[in-house]
Amino acid sequence: MGVAIRGTGSALPEKILTNFDLEKMVDTSDEWIRQRTGMSERHIGQKETVPSLASAACRRALEKAGKKAEEVELIIVATCTTEMLLPCAACRVQNILGAKDAIAFDINAACGGFLFALNTAHHYIESGACNNALVVGSEVLSEIIDWTDRGTCVLFGDGSGAVYVEKTEEGDGSGIIGMSQGSNGMAGKMLYCRGRVVKGETEPEINSEDLLVHMNGGEVFKFAVRQVPICIRKALDMAGLQPEDIDMYLLHQANSRIIESIAKTLKQDIKKFPMNMEKTGNTSSASIPILLDELNREGKIQKGQKLMLSGFGAGMTFGACALIW
């Protein structure tokens, strides 16, 4: 028995914020943003929420898989921007979809969250605890961004991506064949966002700016280009593959220069690394499943192809997943 992706879906807010719009908000330019990030626009939520975007993406994934919400046994939402502390976003998605028999919970591993959630669903299914799952990355990052900080506000966008996964029978030929993940809490200050005040905190009293994203871009860049290739190689080793065996690398859409550096480290053609950040920005946990859905719906992924999904996030967290489509 294995675990395979059977359906993909995604959802983006209607409002689009372009680089030219950002020129009017902070000291930046379209050329500066494009050269350093590869981004030209991003979607920004207005009335959209983490659960509403996640539910829309899930419906499309279920439709693609030919399944009904009532059949879903597990829902995992990866998010770091859910609007409510309780109930969790996954339970709210469960309610919206009407997936009354599903187990539902959230995972917060920031931009690495989708891979952590996919790995968790994989283990649930492999253990026999359930037969299928909806795995979702959903973010409304615009709510925690400092729109006066040109170093971060140009990077992020809102959106959601989902996959429906289910167990496969012996001889199926498709499914997940290698996974790896890890964390480095010692590097947590590279990228952080404070939440509510907790009793026992020893740090000085926080102010409103602490409740927005803070990032050391240079250190995050160095961490990503060093750690992601290591993580990918571990997943390749588990799958018994070499970098050249992978047909397509779907990486977290954080920055085009990061992806280009990873491609060079792995000595692989950049053509194997599709990107859509130009139109979506960095959507954190949603970026990989949004890209996967886009490629799937455009017919760019063929049955039997070998894919590598990989990314990193605040924490710092990192993960990779090798699969046969």
Please determine, for residue 202, whether its predicted confidence score (pLDDT) is greater than 60.
Answer: no
- Note whether 1 and 170 are within 8 A (CB): yes
| pLDDT the model gives residue 209 | 65
- Note whether 111 and 281 are within 8 A (CB): no
Give the chain's mean pLDDT.
Answer: 93
Closest by Cα among 65, 86, 34, 124 to 293: 65
Q: What is the DSSP letter of 205?
A: P
Domains and CATH numbers, the chain: 2-168 (3.40.47.10), 175-324 (3.40.47.10)
Residues tagged active-site? 111, 252, 282
Distance between CA 6 and CA 64 in Å, rounded?
8
| pLDDT the model gives residue 217 | 78
Reported as a single tens digit per residue, the pLDDT across 46-72 is: 999 999 999 999 999 999 999 999 999
Confidence label for 238 from pLDDT (cuts 50, 70 and 90): very high
Q: Is 86 helix (H, G, I), strand (E, B) or coil?
A: coil
State the amino acid at position 4 in one-letter form: A
Confidence label for 201 from pLDDT (cuts 50, 70 and 90): low
The alpha helices in 66-216, defined as continuous H runs, are: 89-97, 113-127, 150-153
Reported as a single tens digit per residue, the pLDDT across 117-163 is: 999 999 999 999 999 999 999 999 999 899 999 889 999 999 999 99
Please determine, for residue 196, whether its predicted confidence score (pLDDT) is greater than 80.
Answer: no
- Global pTM value: 0.94
Buried b (16+ CB within 10 A) or exposed e, 151-181: ebbbbbbbbbbbbbbbbbeeeeebbbbbbbb
Distance between CA 137 and CA 46 in Å, rounded?
18
Residue 306 region by backbone torsions, left for phi larger than 0, else alpha for psi between -120 and 50, else beta: beta
Distance between CA 8 and CA 58 in Å, rounded?
8
Please list, in sequence order, all residues whose beta carbon lies within 8 angstroms of the beta carbon of residue 182, skipping any fewer than 6 positions away: 227, 231, 317, 318, 319
